[in-house]
Amino acid sequence: MAYNFRNRNLLNTRGAYLGSSGSDSESQDDSDPDFLTPSRTPRRSTQNNTARAGGASSIRNLSGKRARGNGEEHRRGLRERHRRRRKRFSQVPQAQISRRTVLSWLIGSGVIEEKEVVWYVAAQSGNILGEGKVNREGILCSCCSGQLTVEEFEVHSGRKTRKPYQHIYLAGSQVSLLDCQIEAWEDKEEEERRTFNNIQPASNVDRNDDACMVCADGGDLICCERCPSTFHPRCIFMEIIPQGDWLCPYCICKYCGNGNGPLMQCSQCEKKYHFRCGGETLDLMNPPVAFCGSSCRKIYEGLHNLLGSQNELHDGLTWTLLQRTDEPFTGSYGEEEYKRIQCNSKIAVAWLVMNECFLSTVDRHTRANIVQSIVYNRGSYVTRINYSGFYTAILEKNDEIISVASIRVHGKRLAEMPFIGTRGEYRRLGMAYVLENCIESTLCSLKVEKLVIPSVSQLTGMWMDKYFFSRVQEERLVKELSLYNTVMFPSSVVRLHKNLAMLPDLNLSPQENEGHF
C-alpha cells in the first residue's frame, strides 16, 4: 500500500512569514500590528530621596552596612526589597531609549530609575570610590560631570576589575547592578521571550507539523513516523514514494541512513548517529554532550570558548559571541558566572536591536516569532522551529550594541546566518561588514566550509558584489541543503552561499595562511 499523504493546505493559514538578512544599507520598518508586544502600564514617578553622607572626603565607608552582604541569601533579600521599592518607579519605554546598552535595558525594564544615584564600592574595604547618576546614555559622574560608560566609570573610580556591574551599587537600596541584571532577566515579560516553543498539534490524532521542513509551505506532505517533521517529496528529491513507515533525515543515522537501534544526537550539528557507525558515546561527566565526530567536537568547543569574551577591534569596536544559558546562578559571582550574566543581559539587548531592524517574522503555521526565537536560541519539539543551536554575534562601540547577527553551525560542511542587522544611525558605515568579517574569520578557524544566507532580491547584488556571495544554484548544493534544518523563507527570498574554505583565516599571519592552505 502506498504512503498516505496528508493535505495541509487549509490548516493554520493565518499569519505572514516575513524577513530577510539585513545590511548597512537596509531600511525596514519595525512595525507589525499583527504581532506587537503590548506595553505595560507606566508606573508613577517618585523622587529618589537618597541620603548623602557628610564629610570633606569623597570616600565613605559602607563596610558596616555590607558586612553580612556576601551570601546569596542576603542578596536575594536585597533584590526582593528592591523589587518592592521599584514598583513606584516611572518606567521608560524601550522605544524611547536611543542607546542600546545593558544599562539602558535595565532602565527600560523598570529595574533602575533614571537619575538614580549609584556608588562604585571597593570590594574589600567597602569604601565608596565614585558617585554618579544613571541615565539613558550611561553614568553622569558627580565629581567631574562627565558622561561615562559603566566600564569607564569603574576606571574613573580607580579600579579595573573588568567586572564593573558587580561593584557599582544603587545608593538607595544597596543592590549591585549585577543583581539588577539578574532581576531584569527573571522578570516575567523577559522570561516569556525565551520560553521553550512548546507547540502542540491541533489534533490528538495527527501530531505532525503543518509545513514542509524545507520550504515551510503546506500541501501534500509525507510525514515522519518518529518525529513531527513533514516534507514535500520534491523538496527532498524523493523520486519514489516509500511503502509503509518512513523516517525523515533527522531520525536516521547520518552515517548508515538506518533508523533502527539506539541513536544518539550530536550536540553540535544535531544529527543522529549510531555509536557503532562513528562518533562518541555520552560523556558521563557532562551527560547531555555527545558528538558525531571530532570536527563537531572542535567546533562546539571552539564556539563555547569564545562565549562572552569581548574581542577588541579598531576604532573602539569590540565583537562578542553570545548564547543564552539557563544554568542557575549560584551567587558566587566568579568569572564564569559573571560572564553568563553578561551574556544573558546582552542577548536581551540584542533582541531589541533585531526588533528595530526587522519586521516581525512570524511562522504562519505555529505563530512563533522567528527572530525572537533565534536570538534567544529557543528550542522546540518541532524540528523546523527548533532554534536551540543558534548563537548571537554582536558588535559594540562604547558599550552600545550597534550590529547583531545570528549564526548556526551545522557541522563542518555548513553554517547559516539568517539575520544580520545594524541600528539606523550606524548604517552605511560598514558596521555589518566588520561583524560579518569577524564571523567568517571565526568559522574559517573552525574549518567550517560554507556559509549560507537569505537575501531579499533588492539586496542580492550588494551581497554578491560587496560580500562575494554566490547564488545557490548547483543541484548538488541544493540537495545537500535540503538535509539540514536551516531557517526557511518565502520563495521570493534568494539563498546565497560563500565557500569559506577558500578564504584566509584572519586570525593567522600571511605566512601561516600560506602553509595553512
**Whole-number pLDDT of residue 14:** 30
- Give residue 367's pLDDT band: very low, low, confident or very high (50, 70, 90): confident
Q: Which of 466, 459, 467, 471 is closest to 497 using CA atoms?
A: 471
**Whole-number pLDDT of residue 331:** 74
Segment 116-138 mean pLDDT = 94
Q: Residue 203 above 50 pLDDT?
A: yes
The 10 Å Cβ neighbour count of residue 316 is 10
**Whole-number pLDDT of residue 200:** 67
Mean pLDDT value across the chain: 81
Which residue's C-alpha cell is 559571582?
333
Strands 415-422 and 450-455, how do they pair? parallel
CB 386 within 8 A of CB 320: no
Q: Helices 294-306 and 431-445 meet at what angle, rounded to 10?
A: 140
Distance CA 409, CA 298 (A): 12
Distance CA 88, CA 365 (A): 41
Q: In this predicted structure, which of 342-351, 427-436, 485-494 has the lowest mean pLDDT?
A: 485-494
Q: Rg of the Cα trace of the chain?
A: 25
Segment 3-17 mean pLDDT = 40
Segment 473-481 mean pLDDT = 88
**233-252: pLDDT as tens digits:** 999 999 888 888 899 999 99
**Whole-number pLDDT of residue 515:** 37
Biggest alpha carbon–alpha carbon distance for the chain: 92
In percent, the amount of the chain with pLDDT more than 90 equals: 59
CB 241 within 8 A of CB 2: yes
Which residue's C-alpha cell is 513606584?
88
Distance CA 430, CA 456 (A): 19
Judge: domain 306-499, CATH 3.40.630.30: yes
- Give residue 97's pLDDT band: very low, low, confident or very high (50, 70, 90): confident
Distance CA 48, CA 89 (A): 9
Q: Residue 124 above 60 pLDDT?
A: yes
CA dist list (Å): 112 to 88, 128, 258, 400, 503: 11, 20, 56, 18, 46
Q: Which of 7, 34, 37 is closest to 367 using CA atoms?
A: 34
CB 416 within 8 A of CB 452: yes
| Beta carbons within 8 Å of 18's beta carbon, 6+ residues apart | 32, 359, 360, 361, 362, 490
Segment 199-221 mean pLDDT = 78
Better pLDDT: 16 or 410: 410
**Highest mean pLDDT pick, 25-34, 331-340, 429-438, 506-515:** 429-438
Distance CA 163, CA 339 (A): 9
Distance CA 152, CA 149 (A): 5
- Residue 346 phi, psi dihedral angles, 5° rounding: -75, -25
**24-75: pLDDT as tens digits:** 544 333 333 222 233 333 333 333 333 333 333 344 445 444 433 456 666 6
* Percent composition of the chain: helix, strand, coil (DSSP 3-state, to 5): 30, 20, 55
Segment 165-186 mean pLDDT = 94
**Highest mean pLDDT pick, 58-72, 83-97, 495-509:** 495-509
Strands 6-7 and 117-121, how do they pair? unpaired
Segment 92-96 mean pLDDT = 67
**282-327: pLDDT as tens digits:** 777 767 789 999 999 999 999 999 999 999 999 999 999 999 998 8
Per-domain residue ranges of the chain: 97-193, 306-499
**Which amino acid is located at 93 in the chain?**
P
How far from the centroid of its chain's Cα atoms is residue 484's Cα? 20
Better pLDDT: 420 or 211: 420
Q: DSSP secondary-structure letter at 345?
A: H
Segment 381-409 mean pLDDT = 95
Distance CA 460, CA 221 (A): 31
Q: Residue 511 above 90 pLDDT?
A: no
- Give residue 461's pLDDT band: very low, low, confident or very high (50, 70, 90): very high
Q: Helices 177-185 and 335-357 meet at what angle, rounded to 10?
A: 60
CB 500 within 8 A of CB 440: yes
CA dist list (Å): 212 to 5, 123, 365, 489, 496: 13, 56, 11, 12, 21
Helices (H) and strands (E) in the chain, counts: 13, 18
CB 225 within 8 A of CB 246: yes
**Whole-number pLDDT of residue 221:** 92
Can you name the residues that pair with 265 across neighbouring β-strands?
272
- Residue 320 phi, psi dihedral angles, 5° rounding: -140, 140
Distance CA 275, CA 273 (A): 6
Angle at 180 between CA 320 and CA 305, to 5 degrees: 25
Distance CA 392, CA 351 (A): 10
The 10 Å Cβ neighbour count of residue 469 is 22
- Residues 217-254 as b or e (16 or more Cβ within 10 Å = b): bbeebbbbeebbbbbbbebbeeeeeeeeebbbbbbbbb
Can you name the residues that pair with 127 across neighbouring β-strands?
61
| Beta carbons within 8 Å of 360's beta carbon, 6+ residues apart | 18, 32, 34, 35, 36, 369, 371
Q: Residue 372 above 60 pLDDT?
A: yes
| Beta carbons within 8 Å of 204's beta carbon, 6+ residues apart | none
Distance CA 67, CA 109 (A): 30
- Give residue 332's pLDDT band: very low, low, confident or very high (50, 70, 90): confident
Better pLDDT: 151 or 207: 151
**Whole-number pLDDT of residue 7:** 53
pTM for the full predicted model: 0.82
